Structure 1
Amino acid sequence: MPESLDLARVIAAAVVLAVALVVAIVLRMLSGRLNKRAGDTRWAWDDLAARLLHDLAVPLSLLAGVWGAANALSLKAGTLSGTANVLTAIAIIVITLACARMFAGVVASIAMARQGVAANVTIFANITRVVVLGIGMLVMLQSLGVSITPLLGALGVGGLAVALALQDTLANLFAGVHVLASKTIEPGDYIRLSSGQEGYVVDINWRNTSIRTLSDNIEVIPNQRFSDTILTNYHRPAQDMSLLIQAKVSYGADLEYVEKVVVEIGDAVMAEIEGAVKEGQTLVRFHTWGESSIDFTAILRITEFGEQFRIKHEFLKRLHRRFDSEGIEIPLPTRRVLLPENGRAADDLVLR
């Protein structure tokens, strides 16, 4: 009789495990379909909820099956209690990992919505993961009967020592958070530091910021550098910007006609060349009586900082060709030296 009873318990436990496995497979299939359907929508929150269900379906079903099997076997009270503690700890770990992934996705979605589709910011997501995992570990220890009060006190003292040892790292961390919170720079912006580094911001993580230079190299800059340097952001307040091109003409040129020619060339370049603001207006401003020329600035509009080289290249080619065909002189620097001879001024000598 006892042997048949034990066999019946084993069979019951096996049936419970089999049912739990079937439920886990069914939930996995359903959550997979739900996850796929959620991916077809534009709303990001349903993707995160579907992914959470997809992550929790199988492990929680199997844990529930193991707990049911343990009860079906009618284990001793101590063994059953230990099994419950272990299963609870495993469940907390599984839920913590899934929640860390979900909350990191929530933070990433919010950052994406605020900073644009090109944003690639990892610092907020990483901080979120660390916080959720830390809370989960404390809850797991508490569930196992470990008092976390002394642990928190030890962590406080140890945290102070770690903070003193990692001053530079923490300074970079908080500097990165401050930069992102204040939206001084964002991934995709073109920046230039007073120390000379410049390029497109690629990523801002917990320690440093990566920028891609125009020569396609990556420069890594500590976040703390941004708090004690002068920074120019060429994508603020907007990406489109004015391109200032310096030029000069001789004193004998008709300035009205020169302005007309430069405006025609500038408008043609902005209308035809990619990277220019199509509806932009070319401006000409004469500003300096030079030693051998009248200097002026041509002002064009470009869509973003990196387009200036193409626009400037095409504008100068066309302007040089047009000045040459119109007979507008681009003067070379000259000096006039007067040499006294027998008390009278000598002939002028022109130095080129």
Structure 2
Amino acid sequence: MRLPRLLLLALLLLLAPPALAQLAPAPAAEAGEAKAEVPKALASPRATMQTFLTEAVAAADGGGTAHLDAAAACLDLSAIPAPARLDSGRELAIKLKEVLDRIRLVDYATIPANPEGPPYVFDRDADTGVSIVIARAPSGEWRFTTETVAGIDDLFRSLEARAKVAGVAGSPANLSPSLWLRSKMPDALKKVGFLMEHWQWLTLALLVIFGVLFARLVRFLLMGPVSRRLDQRELGVPRELVARTLSPLGLIVMAIFWVTGLSWVGLSPDLHSFFVVIVKFLAAFALVRFAFRIVDIMSHVLATRAAKTEGRFDDLLVPLFRKSVKVVIFAVGVVFIADVVGISASSLLAGLGLGGLAIALAAQDTVKNFFGSLTVILDRPFEVGDAVIIGGSTEGVVEEVGFRSTRIRTYENSLITLPNATFISAQVDNLGARNWRRLKATIGVTYDTPPDKLRAFTEGLRELIRNHPLTKKEGYAVYFNGLGASSLDILFITHFETKSFDAAAKGQHDLLLSVVTLASRLGVEFAFPTRTVVLQKGGAAPPTQTYAPADAARVDADHRLGREEALRILGKAPVTTAGAPDASD
């Protein structure tokens, strides 16, 4: 009773937060709700311009990326995709500082300080048509507008050749690897081609090539130490599996190299975001694959150790462990990859919650299979390697038990996959769990076999059973028990004490050969379906053969004869008893 109560309590704890959230009243909106206070650094066009230039100069003087981020905060970056917002914001802040230094010396006194005034236009470039404007956002903060941010690259290329005005302080251009690299390029490579400048395409191609080479170098350097470490622990992991495990690790290293190298290319925000998302997706995908390969190594080590144990239950658990852990890794990986590419994990889970009913209906077979797996684990109706008959129709050897299904290799060498839900209700006949195997046969001899030969033959059969190395020495039965249509029937039942099919088949082979040999030596003929037709032409009927009742001595002599012949067939010297009547009497 305690376990159901704990399960009920856990279910209530899971359902309580959503239910309370729905029942809780929404907080009443206060009249005249206070707005968030606007930072002084962004309170007016003058404050924004002053903050931007001050922070940019501080960054150029060695203040680090913190000042550069503060300068980028003066730009409205809402139109830039989130994955590229940080790097692109820094790059655009550096370029905007270079543009302002080439237009004119900023006089703060000429810039409005009114926090409620109209947008402030610092300059309008005649060649590009781009205006540098500081406007007030709905939140009350003043920033360089999204239109200005979108035109910074065009302004920078247009004004790059113009000298800086006298009196400007600090240049953060040395903080941008792409601007430094661009300054070293000839003018022919600075022309804009498809989507970006020629030197950027060249740099991007080199970045891809060096990333691939660097990933291969890392895999090569790690292959030896990792293999030696595994060999020292005597885990028996093959080098091919180690190589497959290091392959996604190399892809992760390559992705890190590419992300780091993108700062040298100086891509536009949209292209930068595009490439960052692709590279992060590859890295996340490689991380999931790497986790899969680690599980493969663990499963290989566990399977190797399980093969050395006598029991086979652990052989059944290893594949189930491998598949179950991979399912968990896949589920976590989907959420992780969605978060990396910019899909909110909470939105994804909420969407799954809305489709929970549909998923539950679609996954009911999966749930049944899962409980079928639990049935196999807890009840243990069979183990890997057992010969089984499922539902009276499917017969073969169990090869693998998985999270959803079980694979059975038939005696025709075909592979049958059964859903684990089958084992909840199906009859499972585990032939591999037998401690012994039964042999039952009816031996028919001809009707002209005299009783003394029948007694000798049946006793000889018993002696064969008693002296066979694999047969049980109790529970066997050899009796003359039937008058068939064309034979005298002898019931022959024995058991072979072995779980191996091959050993039992060989034992039956040897025993039946001995039966045939015994019949030949005793002059007993095996019957087959026949019909005797007697033609009589008048007179008396032909005489029939009659047999006198046998006394105890005769019966004992017949038995002794059968035993001796059986022992001779088995290559054992018969033991004679003094005073016993001879079989020829």
Which amino acid is 1:25 matched to?
Answer: R
Kindly indicate whether residue 244 of structure 2 is the aligned counterpart of residue 27 of structure 1: no
Alignment of 1:285-300 (within 5 A): 285-286=476-477, 290-291=481-482, 295=491, 297-300=493-496
Kindly indicate whether residue 283 of structure 2 is the aligned counterpart of residue 283 of structure 1: no
Deviations 1:245-277 (A, max 9, x none): 44679796257655324333x23xxxxxxxxxx
CA distance 1:35–1:88, shift in 2 (3 Å): same
Greater displacement, 35-44 / 142-151: 35-44
For the residue of structure 1 that corresponds to 2:369, the secondary structure is helix
Q: CA deviation at 1:135?
A: 0.9
Measure, in 2, the Cα distance between the counterparts of 1:156 and 1:111. 38
Pairing partner for 1:200 from 373, 380, 397: 397
Greater displacement, 219-228 / 121-130: 121-130
Pairing partner for 2:500 from 293, 301, 304: 304
Kindly indicate whether residue 259 of structure 2 is the aligned counterpart of residue 62 of structure 1: no
CA distance 1:60–1:164, shift in 2 (3 Å): closer
Alignment of 1:1-352 (within 5 A): 6-8=182-184, 22-34=213-225, 37=228, 42-44=234-236, 50-51=242-243, 54-73=246-265, 84=276, 86-107=278-299, 109-110=301-302, 113-114=305-306, 115=312, 124-180=321-377, 182-205=379-402, 207-236=404-433, 241-246=436-441, 253=455, 258-264=461-467, 266-267=468-469, 280=470, 282-283=472-473, 285-286=476-477, 290-291=481-482, 295=491, 297-305=493-501, 307-326=503-522
Q: CA deviation at 1:99?
A: 0.9
Higher RCO (CA-CA < 8 Å; seq separation 6+): 1
Q: CA deviation at 1:148?
A: 1.8
- 8 Å Cα contact 2:246/2:290 also seen in 1: no
CA distance 1:22–1:185, shift in 2 (3 Å): same
Measure, in 1, the Cα distance between the counterparts of 2:229 and 2:522. 65
Q: CA deviation at 1:161?
A: 1.4
- 8 Å Cα contact 2:255/2:279 also seen in 1: yes
Q: Any stretches of 5+ residues in structure 2 without a counterpart?
A: 1-159, 162-178, 186-198, 307-311, 446-450, 484-488, 529-542, 547-585
Greater displacement, 89-98 / 296-305: 296-305
Measure, in 2, the Cα distance between the counterparts of 1:324 and 1:18. 84
Measure, in 2, the Cα distance between the counterparts of 1:165 and 1:17. 43
- 8 Å Cα contact 2:230/2:237 also seen in 1: no
Greater displacement, 85-94 / 252-261: 252-261
Which amino acid is 1:106 matched to?
Answer: M
Measure, in 2, the Cα distance between the counterparts of 1:62 and 1:196. 53
Measure, in 2, the Cα distance between the counterparts of 1:193 and 1:133. 32
What residue number does 1:276 align with?
none
Which amino acid is 1:314 matched to?
Answer: D
Equivalenced residues, count: 322
Q: CA deviation at 1:325?
A: 1.1
Deviations 1:129-176 (A, max 9, x none): 332122122123223443222321321342431331343354234313
Measure, in 1, the Cα distance between the counterparts of 2:184 and 2:327. 46
- 8 Å Cα contact 1:38/1:50 also seen in 2: no
- 8 Å Cα contact 1:21/1:65 also seen in 2: no
- 8 Å Cα contact 2:315/2:383 also seen in 1: no
CA distance 1:47–1:181, shift in 2 (3 Å): farther
CA distance 1:110–1:219, shift in 2 (3 Å): same
Structure with greater Cα Rg:
2
Q: Which has the higher strand share?
A: 1
Q: CA deviation at 1:191?
A: 0.6
Which amino acid is 1:167 matched to?
Answer: Q
Measure, in 2, the Cα distance between the counterparts of 1:197 and 1:53. 38
- Give me the TM-score of the superposition, normalised by structure 1: 0.68
Q: Any stretches of 5+ residues in structure 1 without a counterpart?
A: 268-279, 333-346
The alignment's C-alpha RMSD in Å is 4.6
